[in-house]
Structure formats: structure tokens, C-alpha cells
Structure 1
Amino acid sequence: MALTWTTVLPVIIVSSLIIYEEWASTPSCKPTNAADFCGKGYESKEEDLKVMMVANLHLLGSDSGFVNLYFRDYYMSMFFKKSFTSLKPDMLLVLGDVSAKGSELTQTKWVSVVHQFQQMVGPFMGLPYHVVVGDRDVGECSGLESNSVQWIARSFPGLDSAGCGAFEISNVSFVSLNAVALLCGNNGLRFSVEKVIERESVDLQMGFENSFEDLKDKEISRGFGWRENYVSSGSGPVLLLHFPLHHPAYCNCCNCRSGSPSQKGLSTLDSRGFAGTGPYELMHTVPPNATEYIFQALKPRIIFSAHTHEFSDYTHSDGTREVTVPSMTWKARDDPGFILATFQSNRAVSVSYCSLPRESHVLIFFTSIVVLLLSMMLIANTPQVLCLRL
């Protein structure tokens, strides 16, 4: 029996859908380091630590609508699964805003968000993972409370009651801070975060030869009451934040420019550099004073932040590199992405930006398929209609 185009075309369409989904869910990664970008590649070694970093998932849990549940969240799960199999990372880091409105949810609804997160990341639950709290998770300054932050922090491994964490994996030390609290004036959580920074600063200095004896003779800085840190820049841990640190310009790959869109309309800061106790919708970075003390206390090896929804790669005045992780959801922007960071044994860090398909492109593809199917059905039924009329 000879095959006609009406029987072959559906097979072609189904095969195209399978091939397209396979292609669309596979991330496209390219290095962003200046040396790598200019053609000097790096061959990864077995002892290197590969970390996938994502941000701003904006999950809704049980409140997810039809489009989110069966389209956006479905593809997000595919992105995680395909990234896991193709990139083979050793760890997953989520830099805040797991939820779209976690601060407004009851504990029951928050549990549904956590379950959705665990199902979405799929195979990554078998790897070490760490979640940084974001402003959508814990709320803005006017509603930021230690009790709510504490039960949210209990949902994820390695976070203390203030929403901070410190851990080490493959000889790489990480410190995550609740950057939301650093924007909140005299909020008690801010002081808890400062204590974490001071503790990590002391641990850092004690990790160097004779540093403990030196600490006895150092002056206590006035500012936040933190000790002066005489460890060289870049000697500290990898710093993880939701909000980027303050800086006057940003650098995207090999090109630097001032006046980042993410810095337009910043709130007016008081003399201490904080945003007060009110809302901070216009505040997009950690205040200058807090930024200065973080550099002084922690001497971070490299900084990873999020919140702006966009990727950027910036070098601060002391030579510290800060990479801002883009959003990995169509709920935040049309072209999602994430970061793959490789921590090398020589303390160098190789960063790759991984892009995912635009939502608009995926919608155009499926719309074209639907139009094609409808046209095929119409054409297939046209001869029968003509015969009836005759």
C-alpha cells in the first residue's frame, strides 16, 4: 500500500517535535573569561569543581496556572535535566528568588513551592546544592522578620537562622549572605548577618600563619565593629549573594561601560549607606558602606550575585571579580540563561555563560506546528466536501 503525504506528514511533525525539544532543551555555553574569550581555552581537569549557578526561578507552587505548569515549568525541568546530562556539574547553586512571592505565602503553600523546586531540579537533588535567599523569598525590609526567614531557611541545606551559610567542597570555601537584610537599616537580621561576616573574617585570618597572634595587636574598626583584615585581596572564600555589590560601572565580557540599567534610579542612601527600614524597590545593589566592609572583612576570591535578571562580568577596583547570574526562567525574561563556573586547582575560576531558547521562539515554533496541522486537516477534508456538493 502506497503511503500518501497525509499519512507521512504527521510522522514528520511528531519527529520534528521530538528533535526540536531535544535541541531547545540543550544549553549553549561559551566562556566569558577575558583569556578564554580571546582564544586561550582551558582544558578542565578531574580535580576541578564544576558548579552550575542559576537564579530567579520564580516558582508559584500550588498557585501555578495552566501555562506555567504545563509549559514554562515543564521546559524548566527539561533545562535542568539536559544541563545535568550534558554539562555534568558537581554542584548546584541557586542565587535567590526560588519563589515568585514566597514572603506572602503561608507555610503550607511555601512547602508546595519547595516540593516544586525539588521536582524541577530533578537529578540535581543527588548532588550537593545550596540556595541563597532572595527578596522575593523573604520579603522587603518593611516585612522582614527573623521568624519567617528562619522557617524559610530551614527548607534548604546549610542555611542558619539569619539566612546565611558557609561550607567547603573540593577545597573550595563558600560563604552565602542574606543580602536582603543588609539593605534594611536597623533591622535585627542585618546585625545577625554582620556577625556572620565578622565570624568568617576571623576564621579567614586565623587560617593564615601567625594571623591569630597578629589579631591581638590589631585595632577594632569602628564601622560595624569588625576587625581589620590584613589578608590580601582574593584570598578569601567564594562569596554568594542575591543582590550585587555596589559599583559605579559594570563590565560585560571584554567591554566595560558606566551607567548600568540595573543601577538607574537607586534609592538615596543615608550617611551609613543603608536604605532605611522602608521598601527598597529602587535599590538594586548592596549599599556602599556594606560593600566596603564585605571586601575588607572577607577578601572574596570571586563574587556571584543575581537579582538584575541579566548577565554581567565586572572587576572591582581591588581586582575582585563579580559575576551576575542571569534569570533561568521565562517568567522573568524572554532569553533565560545560567552560569557554569569551574574552580581550578590553581585558584583560577573559569566562567561560561549558558543560554537557553527564547520563549517567543518556542511559541512561534509550536504555533507554526498547530497552523500546519489545521491546514493539513482542512486540505484532507476538502475533497469529501466537494463530492457531497456534486
Structure 2
Amino acid sequence: MLSPGLTTVRSHRLKKRLCFLLKLVCFVSSVLIFCEILIYYLVIFQCQWPEVKGGDHSREKEPSTSVLKAIILADTHLLGEIKGHWLDKLRREWQMERSFQTALWLLQPDIVFILGDVFDEGKWSSPQAWADDVRRFQKMFQCPVSTELVVVVGNHDIGFHYEMTAYKVNRFEKVFNFTSGKLITRKGVNFILVNSVAMEGDGCALCRASEAKLVALSHQLNCSQQKPNHSDKRCSNVEKLPSSEPILLQHYPLYRKNDAECSGEDSASPEEKKIPFKEKYDVLSQEASQKLMWWFRPRLVLSGHTHSGCEVLHAGRIPEVSVPSFSWRNRNNPGFVMGSITPTDFSLQKCFLPYESRVLTTYCAAGALLVILVLAHFQLLTPPFCFAQRLISKHKAV
């Protein structure tokens, strides 16, 4: 039989080990909770809705009930079965889901716009892979009843122009209730959804159909913006819309030479800014851009595709904001745009998500501290003064 003293010693050692193990579990759990959940609240909590004035010459704030609060994001690029590694999917999709759901909870927008490239492999995914991608998207970007989700098509969703087919366009439209030329009006604000992939200008069947819809919408808007005392026979049978100047939502940016004039922490790197953009690939062609501006005379253009933020002015009066990618896969500092919009005015504000590099640094620091704690607990880490004392003793012995 073991003596009572020996039993007490073993019991004490076991308690110490269990206590140490519990501390390690608490430490690891705290790091995980902070890096995977809390950090999104801490970062997005700092974002505030921009204020918008009541009119062009009004200094009074617009009543909150008449302001449309919109979140605009782009290029989520959900990975598919071909190029998507399971660990990459897990990491980046968790980041986007937590970012999106946290933003919804903290900011409570009226509407969310995603400006294309929702999927990374929509241009070649099989029906089964497409269904799986859609299921994951609907889980990640699920919205409450009070928030509307509107999705615009991008080249990775249906392919570039030479890859685009009626089948791919139709399956995207079926899932997201999107058409290649669509107008939605919310709180008196008109939004035009453009299939920019179909703005090739080569007369293909899908391109002709898309442009025909846009021309019809242009006519409807022009008729709606006419003064009541101005009669036009062509507008007699046209359903009138709010007279608000429209906002264009599309994936490809309007034509610009490069990103040289772009600035801000979400802009492209200095090397990338100098690279010329290719028309119909990086940006819309000059012809397509001029068509859209002539048809709609928009007060704002919102686009994605480049994965970097940019603000440019077209024709000296039409601002365009390119929204950075929402995914860590494309940027170390992803983000989105918050817009307070009325029928006569708008105000935009960028909101950045946690830096991936900072999260990884936190994990590395926590891992190093964990190793030190374990080594110290098992007395495998020699304190500096003990190490020095041993060296002195050995020197004296010699």
C-alpha cells in the first residue's frame, strides 16, 4: 500500500497538471475567440454611416427614415472544386462570413449590393459544383428580412465575353433574380444593374439583348425626368419612375488608362498602378463607357473587378468608385463601402476589415508564448540568471 504522504504528493501533482492544462485550454480558446470572432466586432464597430445633406444647398441633415443605407462590396470569389483547396476555402470563407454577418449586426443596412465575381469558378463549374457554391454563398451571405441583397454579375460568374453562354447567364439570373439590364428603386433612389460582360459591342445575341434592355430603361428614365408641363408623345405610354438621377452598379469599371490617379490604403501597389488597363478585360471599352454615360447620365458609378479601391471622375462630373475585394484571398486589407443615399444626394464611407497579416501575427505571438509557458512549466526553459550562474561555476571549477 502507498503511504498517505506519497498519495498526497501524487494528488497534488495531478491537480497542478490539470490546473496547468486548464490554463492552456483557456489561453488557446481566448486567442481563437479573439482572432476568429471578436476582432471583427472591434474593427467594424469603428465604421460609422456617413451623413448626407437634405439637398444640394441644404445644411440640414436628411431624416434617417428617408436615407437609404447601403453596403457595397465586391469580388468575394468563393472558391470552387477545381482550384479551391479545402484549407483555403475554410479560412477565407470564414473570414468573409464573419465580416459580413458582423457588419449586418452592427450597421443594419437597408440593402447590400455585391458587384460581381461572387464565385471564382462560375465560368466553368459543373451543375453540381454550381449548386454547392450557391449553397455556401447563401449560408455565408444570409440576410435578415429587413435587409435586401442584390447581386450583380461578374466575369468569374459567367465567364469573359468569349466564355459567356446563355446557359451560364440564365442559371445566374435564376439564383440571384438578376437580369442583364435591370432597374430597382428603393426610397426614391434609382439603381441600374448592368451586365458589363455583355457590353462587348460586337453584336452577339446576349450583348444585343442586354443593350436593348438598357436602352429601354434609359428611355423610361428620361421620360420620368421630364418636367410635368413638357409633353412628349414618345413618353405617353411609359410608366413613370422617381425622377432621381440613377446610380450605375456594374462589375467592370468604366474606361480608364490605369490606376495611376488612385490613392488610399486600399489602392493598388505603386507597381500595379503603372500597368495599362486592357479594354474589355480590365475595364470597359471607351465606346461602352460613353454609351452608359450618355444613356443614363448617372450621378454615381460603383464597380469592382480590380480588387483595389479607386475614385475617379469621368467627364469632369461623374464620380466612379471602384470597391476593393471583400476577401483575404485578394487583399491583405479587404473592405467595403457604406453609402447613405437619398434621391438627390449621397455620401460614401469606406470600412476596412481586419488585416490578415495582423491576425497571423497574433497567432504567431500567441504560439510562441504558449511554447515558452509549456517549457517553463516543465522546467525545460533555463532562466537567464541560472544559465549565467552555471557558466560561472564551470569557469571556477576549471
Q: Which moved more, 1:63-72 or 1:285-294?
A: 63-72
Distance in 2, matches of 1:244 and 1:31, equals 25
> What are the superposed Cα offsets for residues 230-272 of structure 1, whole Å, 9 maximum, x if unpaired?
xxxx95311101011113574547xx9xx994673334xxxxx
Distance in 2, matches of 1:145 and 1:41, equals 50
Distance in 2, matches of 1:52 and 1:46, equals 17
Identify the residue that residue 195 of structure 2 maps to in structure 1: 178
* 1:303 aligned residue (301, 304, 318): 301
Distance in 2, matches of 1:211 and 1:146, equals 43
> What are the superposed Cα offsets for residues 151-192 of structure 1, whole Å, 9 maximum, x if unpaired?
2221102x12xx332211111111111101113633222212
What code does the residue aligned with 1:22 have?
L
Does residue 48 (structure 1) correspond to residue 67 (structure 2)? The answer is: yes
- Summarize the Cα distance change of 1:8–1:145 in structure 2 as closer, same or farther, 3 Å threshold: closer
Q: Which runs of 5+ in 1 are unaligned?
A: 218-233, 268-274, 385-390
TM-score normalised by structure 1 residue count: 0.77
> How far is 1:332 from its partner?
1.1
Tell whether the 8 Å contact from 2:181 to 2:211 is kept in structure 1 after alignment. no
Does residue 361 (structure 1) correspond to residue 358 (structure 2)? The answer is: yes
Distance in 2, matches of 1:129 and 1:343, equals 16
Does residue 341 (structure 1) correspond to residue 356 (structure 2)? The answer is: no
What code does the residue aligned with 2:131 have?
V
Identify the residue that residue 107 of structure 1 maps to in structure 2: 127
Distance in 2, matches of 1:101 and 1:183, equals 21
Identify the residue that residue 78 of structure 2 maps to in structure 1: 59
Does residue 11 (structure 1) correspond to residue 8 (structure 2)? The answer is: no
Q: Which moved more, 1:319-328 or 1:137-146?
A: 137-146
* 2:148 aligned residue (100, 115, 128): 128
Tell whether the 8 Å contact from 1:236 to 1:301 is kept in structure 2 after alignment. yes
Distance in 1, matches of 2:367 and 2:201, equals 50
Does residue 72 (structure 1) correspond to residue 92 (structure 2)? The answer is: yes
> What are the superposed Cα offsets for residues 80-124 of structure 1, whole Å, 9 maximum, x if unpaired?
111011111111100000001111101221111111111111335
Identify the residue that residue 222 of structure 2 maps to in structure 1: 205
- Summarize the Cα distance change of 1:166–1:76 in structure 2 as closer, same or farther, 3 Å threshold: same
* 1:264 aligned residue (275, 280, 291): 275
Distance in 2, matches of 1:168 and 1:320, equals 20
Identify the residue that residue 238 of structure 1 maps to in structure 2: 247
- Summarize the Cα distance change of 1:56–1:44 in structure 2 as closer, same or farther, 3 Å threshold: farther
Distance in 2, matches of 1:62 and 1:98, equals 15
What code does the residue aligned with 2:217 have?
E
Distance in 1, matches of 2:198 and 2:271, equals 23
Question: For 1:360, what is the secondary structure of its paired residue?
Answer: helix
- Summarize the Cα distance change of 1:65–1:367 in structure 2 as closer, same or farther, 3 Å threshold: same
Tell whether the 8 Å contact from 1:61 to 1:116 is kept in structure 2 after alignment. no
What code does the residue aligned with 1:170 have?
K
> How far is 1:370 from its partner?
2.4
Question: For 1:131, what is the secondary structure of its paired residue?
Answer: strand
> What are the superposed Cα offsets for residues 346-379 of structure 1, whole Å, 9 maximum, x if unpaired?
x211101010112121112112222322332233
* 2:371 aligned residue (367, 370, 374): 374
Identify the residue that residue 247 of structure 1 maps to in structure 2: 256
Distance in 2, matches of 1:11 and 1:109, equals 39
> What are the superposed Cα offsets for residues 213-240 of structure 1, whole Å, 9 maximum, x if unpaired?
44759xxxxxxxxxxxxxxxx9531110
What code does the residue aligned with 1:112 have?
D
Supply the RMSD in Å over aligned alpha carbons.
3.5
Distance in 1, matches of 2:345 and 2:110, equals 17
> How far is 1:311 from its partner?
1.2
* 1:352 aligned residue (309, 327, 349): 349
Does residue 312 (structure 1) correspond to residue 297 (structure 2)? The answer is: no
Distance in 1, matches of 2:369 and 2:328, equals 26
The structure with more radius of gyration: 2
> How far is 1:66 from its partner?
3.0
Identify the residue that residue 321 of structure 1 maps to in structure 2: 319
What code does the residue aligned with 1:239 have?
L
Tell whether the 8 Å contact from 1:118 to 1:125 is kept in structure 2 after alignment. no
> How far is 1:61 from its partner?
4.7
Tell whether the 8 Å contact from 1:235 to 1:299 is kept in structure 2 after alignment. no
Q: Which moved more, 1:306-315 or 1:65-74?
A: 65-74
Distance in 1, matches of 2:311 and 2:145, equals 28
Does residue 116 (structure 1) correspond to residue 125 (structure 2)? The answer is: no
Distance in 1, matches of 2:196 and 2:274, equals 16
- Summarize the Cα distance change of 1:58–1:124 in structure 2 as closer, same or farther, 3 Å threshold: farther
Question: For 1:58, what is the secondary structure of its paired residue?
Answer: coil
Q: Which runs of 5+ in 2 are unaligned?
A: 1-11, 54-58, 236-242, 382-398
- Summarize the Cα distance change of 1:343–1:32 in structure 2 as closer, same or farther, 3 Å threshold: closer
- Summarize the Cα distance change of 1:134–1:168 in structure 2 as closer, same or farther, 3 Å threshold: same
Question: For 2:66, what is the secondary structure of its paired residue?
Answer: coil
What code does the residue aligned with 1:138 have?
I
What code does the residue aligned with 2:326 have?
M
Distance in 2, matches of 1:43 and 1:213, equals 32
* 1:83 aligned residue (99, 103, 108): 103
Tell whether the 8 Å contact from 1:175 to 1:240 is kept in structure 2 after alignment. yes
> How far is 1:126 from its partner?
5.7
Question: For 2:276, what is the secondary structure of its paired residue?
Answer: coil
